[in-house]
Structure 1
């Protein structure tokens, strides 16, 4: 039978509005903003570095201040407004689900790079011995993986799915995810569309079939770290120095241009195949969620 999100019922109109999909999304972003302001004051009070920092200069403490607002806001939303356990981030699932996600993310991007190499687009010039690992892993892996997955999949996809169903949640969360990358260096309209189609849809369906943010975080982090610190390819427009000293050659539609391999049709094709596999799992399970009004109509009948 289809798996439907848990509905929260209450006789109080204000609480019904607060616990509605739109209400919870607004509460999350308001809480995120308030927590960010408080932690920003603490950050300044500790005389920690201000302004833009190079990735190699980011420390675990600095990364924690960037990640904490999203984590705390999400925990408060689930525990107080939704009044349930945070099953999608259950501690007992952390290690196995993270490892599964990391393996999947590294494998998929390695398939992208292998294909580009086979086409003659990805060329290895040598190796770098002085790669800064910690900062890029904290920023591209932990930071992007945790914050972007909580917002895009934990909040937008999951909550929209409750109200409008899986298909609407997929397209809305993917469009927002791609749109957020339009502000990155070297970004174009095509790169934003590519990110939405290859990563937005893939990670949305990955969450749908696993109901685990750990898996999505691991896959997202591994994708970024494998792309930049390992293969030396720009990550969403940000130049990287990787373990492999490399360069791209060929037309932008093949290489992704200055934005990186995420804007390549090769990445889009491979990710689309993985997305189709996740969709096939969802269809076979019968887990795709229909809009709330259709569920109510069936219940009434």
Structure 2
């Protein structure tokens, strides 16, 4: 009896922490399996050359493939967990095309771009960044970069939103106070980014965790994934394709950006080779943007949500 109370709540549902753990473990297994199959397929297409395969997967095509795999795995597994553990329909994940979904996407996009610009402006006011036109790339290459990264960053952001603000966050929100429920997925979001190139000690973990909190609050404002998706992709696209800054340490996708932003200040402020996300200017911008979003009346559980502990 006591064992059952530890595993299940008074409604007979598996407790939220165990639901979270089940999703995480199953997701990583599915991702590893799908990723291995994708690498094998790319290996065969690349003429059975491991070097050519790795080169292919390191570019935009590889990121798109990885994002599609991640998005599909997180969405299907999130639907499956919601169905078997909490008897929830697919629309509970937040991807349904309910009235106004596109307005949430546009508003989120405006928020993401504005928040990124705020971080850069803070660094600029401190005399730590300079802007210049990109004269080293042709107009055709700049346009191609803007359009290709538009697709790439939307898919990558959708994959991460489904993974971190999808079922794992939502199932904890149905049983825990908001500011406790958002910690596990935000911390996981931060830890994953530590593997990125030029990760800045301290600030990478802190700022990516704050970004996870910011995007979680964005989800809570709209109760769908379209709003945080907009904020996420627009932040990355503005940062990389428009301003020419590294996106979490990655530069290979935006070599022909619209502008060239040169960092001339201390790394602790600008983020250095990791990009603005690795500096204190980003910390201030994320805190400010989260405060604007975090209206207490909008962050309480809606009456229609189930109570599943």
Matched, 1:256 2:278: no
Q: Kindly state the Cα deviation for residue 139 of structure 1 after the two structures are TM-superposed.
A: 3.9
The CA deviation string for residues 157-187 of structure 1, in whole angstroms up to 9 with x for no partner, is 2222333321212333322222221111111
Contact map agreement 2:123 2:281 (CA 8 A) in 1: yes
Distance 2:74 2:195 in 1: 20
The CA deviation string for residues 235-292 of structure 1, in whole angstroms up to 9 with x for no partner, is 111124221122110111221111110122122112211211222x1x2357169xxx
Matched, 1:91 2:104: no
Q: Kindly state the Cα deviation for residue 40 of structure 1 after the two structures are TM-superposed.
A: 4.9
Q: Kindly state the Cα deviation for residue 54 of structure 1 after the two structures are TM-superposed.
A: 3.5
Moved more, 185-194 or 25-34: 25-34
Distance 2:34 2:192 in 1: 24
The secondary structure found in structure 1 opposite 2:198 is coil
Contact map agreement 2:182 2:213 (CA 8 A) in 1: yes
Contact map agreement 1:198 1:268 (CA 8 A) in 2: yes
Matched, 1:151 2:158: no
Matched, 1:121 2:125: no
Name 1:284's counterpart in structure 2: 297
Q: Which runs of 5+ in 2 are unaligned?
A: 1-7, 47-52
Contact map agreement 2:108 2:231 (CA 8 A) in 1: yes
Distance 2:66 2:185 in 1: 28
Distance 1:151 1:255 in 2: 28
Contact map agreement 2:71 2:163 (CA 8 A) in 1: no
Q: Give the count of matched residue pairs.
A: 276
Matched, 1:100 2:107: yes
Matched, 1:27 2:22: yes
The secondary structure found in structure 2 opposite 1:89 is coil
Superposition TM-score, scaled by structure 1 size:
0.78
Name 1:207's counterpart in structure 2: 219
Distance 2:231 2:60 in 1: 22
The correspondence of residues 209-288 of structure 1 with structure 2, limited to 5 A, is: 209-239=221-251, 240-241=254-255, 242-279=257-294, 281=295, 283-285=296-298, 287=300
The secondary structure found in structure 2 opposite 1:183 is coil
Distance 1:115 1:26 in 2: 39
Q: Kindly state the Cα deviation for residue 125 of structure 1 after the two structures are TM-superposed.
A: 2.9
Q: Kindly state the Cα deviation for residue 138 of structure 1 after the two structures are TM-superposed.
A: 4.0
Moved more, 77-86 or 43-52: 43-52
Name 1:3's counterpart in structure 2: none
Distance 2:64 2:289 in 1: 33
The secondary structure found in structure 2 opposite 1:287 is coil
Superposition TM-score, scaled by structure 2 size:
0.77
Distance 1:108 1:51 in 2: 34
Name 1:73's counterpart in structure 2: 77
Distance 2:35 2:202 in 1: 36
Distance 1:100 1:25 in 2: 29
Q: Which runs of 5+ in 1 are unaligned?
A: 1-6, 290-294, 297-301
The CA deviation string for residues 47-92 of structure 1, in whole angstroms up to 9 with x for no partner, is 4564352334448666534432222222222334322232322222
Moved more, 133-142 or 204-213: 133-142
Distance 1:48 1:100 in 2: 40
Evaluate the alpha carbon distance shift between residue 285 and residue 75 of structure 1 in structure 2; reply closer, same or farther with a 3 A threshold.
closer
